[in-house]
């Protein structure tokens, strides 16, 4: 299957699990590349992850999860092939010979043991581009260590910086490193495709999650070389005040406000109708407001607690003060700005029609004439026959034999439940 798009004609084989690599390859699939996701009945964690309606797995849970549509098999093809078997390896190599890109997020050494490392693939396809996305890269003392996004948050130094003033380190977010790494996957592959098309030479990409994270705290790395240890400041700032998150009217409603110059402070005083406390001499300079930030935050928070978060955001922004209501995921689905930009996308997975239409986050850029929406979601092994016939060149009889031997599949193992796939 080839979907018209900027990358039409580019074929990607991806041995991927969890989040970061699938997120990256989904960009290429959106742009029209033929992305073939190689799956295994022994590793269905992604398909088991959900989320499912009412948190209940259906009869065909392996095709129903929301994350499959968001990034897992979105606009991709699914080939459920056991590549660890001799016949599976042979089939994979035939696919790689006729592909442009092979990606994986196994620990270093796994692809080499399988015979799928760059050197081996380049012998049969000198123009091949390979990318391995790992926690710490393919060289160095930590190369064989496994990880999750949470542990990489720590190892890249981000967790040390994240937390409230005077408190312990905290996690930056649930999937911050996954998404950041996935973005780099897409970026690196696009560069490699451009380079290969210009020079005819294949490319090997060694991408590390830890290094992705370190690049996000570059200023702290520079400061450390000057003997400066950046402190944890929570939602505060190293010199701006007021600069924090403040309570608003209602249950768990908040607003972020950032003031960094006297003119903005004067405008904020005017919006608050010039309360007496705001005229305190401690708050009349940038330095003074920062030195007395705790008292200022408490006083300002008492006032914001009487205000509606969205209306206050609009009022402050009209006065040149940076402010943002703290929107929840539920807020974003119905947000007028998001709807006005057609950012949120409605999609119904035809493989699980009982689930109904869901709303998904879109792509943060627009390109005239380029369709970046979810067009389809691949069910497990949906494209076995098509890929093996058209890309590997197998006959119908050879494909049927692979199915009889369990080398290819379209359902979990007989009797397996969602819990057993974990």
Q: Please determine, for residue 4, whether its predicted confidence score (pLDDT) is greater than 80.
A: no
Q: Interhelix angle for 262-271 vs 309-318, to 10°?
A: 130
Instruction: Tell me whether residue 146 is exposed, middle or buried, using C-beta atoms within 10 angstroms of its C-beta: 0 to 12, 13 to 18, 19 or more.
Output: exposed
Domains in the chain with CATH codes? 11-216+344-421 (3.40.50.10540), 243-247+254-325 (3.30.1540.10)
pLDDT tens figures, 29-82: 999 999 999 999 999 989 998 888 888 888 889 999 999 889 999 999 999 999
The HSE-up count of residue 177 (CA atoms within 13 Å, CB side) is 30
**pTM for this structure?**
0.91
Please state which of the ranges 121-130, 246-255, 264-273, 367-376 shows the lowest mean pLDDT. Answer: 367-376
pLDDT score of 417: 52
DSSP reduced 3-state for 222: helix
Q: Please determine, for residue 203, whether its predicted confidence score (pLDDT) is greater than 70.
A: yes
Task: Supply 300's token pair.
Answer: 């300002």
Q: Please determine, for residue 12, whether its predicted confidence score (pLDDT) is greater than 80.
A: yes
Measured between alpha carbons, how far is 181 from 350 in angstroms, rounded to an integer?
Answer: 30
pLDDT score of 256: 98
DSSP reduced 3-state for 166: coil
pLDDT score of 311: 98
Spell out where 77-144 has E strands.
Answer: 77-80, 101-104, 129-134
Measured between alpha carbons, how far is 296 from 31 in angstroms, rounded to an integer?
Answer: 49
Residue recorded with tokens 């998001």: 338
Measured between alpha carbons, how far is 317 from 311 in angstroms, rounded to an integer?
Answer: 10
Report the chain's mean pLDDT, rounded to a whole number: 93
Higher per-residue confidence, 96 vs 349: 96
Residue recorded with tokens 């088991």: 48
pLDDT score of 416: 57
Q: How far apart are the first and last CA of the chain?
A: 31
């Amino acid at each position: 299957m080839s979907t018209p798009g900027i990358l039409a004609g580019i074929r990607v084989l991806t041995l991927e699990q969890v989040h970061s690599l699938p997120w990256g390859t989904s960009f290429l699939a959106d742009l029209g590349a033929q992305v073939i996701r190689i799956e295994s009945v022994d590793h269905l964690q992604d398909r088991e992850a959900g989320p499912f309606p009412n948190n209940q797995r259906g009869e065909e849970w392996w095709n129903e999860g929301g994350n499959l549509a968001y990034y897992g098999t979105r606009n991709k093809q699914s080939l459920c092939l056991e590549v660890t078997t001799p016949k599976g390896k042979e089939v994979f190599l035939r696919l790689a010979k006729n592909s442009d890109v092979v990606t994986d997020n196994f620990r270093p050494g796994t692809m080499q043991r399988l015979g799928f490392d760059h050197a081996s693939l380049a012998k049969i396809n000198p123009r091949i581009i390979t990318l391995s996305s790992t926690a710490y890269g393919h060289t160095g003392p930590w190369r064989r260590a496994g990880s999750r996004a949470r542990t990489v948050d720590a190892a890249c130094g981000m967790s040390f910086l994240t937390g409230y003033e005077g408190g312990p380190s905290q996690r930056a977010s649930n999937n911050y490193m996954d998404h950041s790494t996935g973005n780099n996957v897409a970026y690196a592959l696009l560069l490699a495709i451009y380079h290969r098309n210009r020079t005819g030479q294949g490319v090997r990409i060694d991408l590390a999650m830890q290094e992705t994270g370190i690049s996000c705290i570059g200023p702290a790395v520079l400061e450390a070389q000057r003997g400066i240890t950046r402190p944890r400041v929570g939602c505060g700032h190293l010199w701006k005040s007021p600069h924090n998150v403040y309570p608003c009217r209602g249950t768990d409603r908040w607003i972020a406000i950032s003031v960094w110059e006297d003119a903005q402070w004067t405008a904020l005083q005017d919006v608050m109708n010039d309360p007496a406390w705001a005229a305190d001499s401690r708050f009349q300079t940038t330095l003074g407001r920062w030195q007395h930030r705790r008292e200022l935050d408490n006083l300002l928070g008492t006032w914001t607690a009487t205000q509606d978060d969205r209306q206050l955001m609009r009022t402050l922004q009209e006065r040149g003060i940076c402010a943002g209501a703290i929107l929840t995921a539920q807020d974003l689905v119905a947000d007028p700005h998001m709807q006005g930009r057609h950012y949120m996308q409605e999609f119904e997975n035809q493989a699980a029609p009982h689930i109904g239409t869901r709303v998904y986050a879109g792509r943060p850029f627009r390109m005239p004439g380029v369709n970046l929406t979810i067009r389809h979601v691949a069910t497990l092994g949906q494209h076995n026959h098509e890929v093996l016939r058209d890309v590997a060149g197998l006959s119908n009889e050879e494909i049927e034999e692979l199915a009889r031997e369990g080398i290819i599949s379209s359902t979990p193992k007989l009797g397996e439940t969602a819990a057993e796939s974990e």
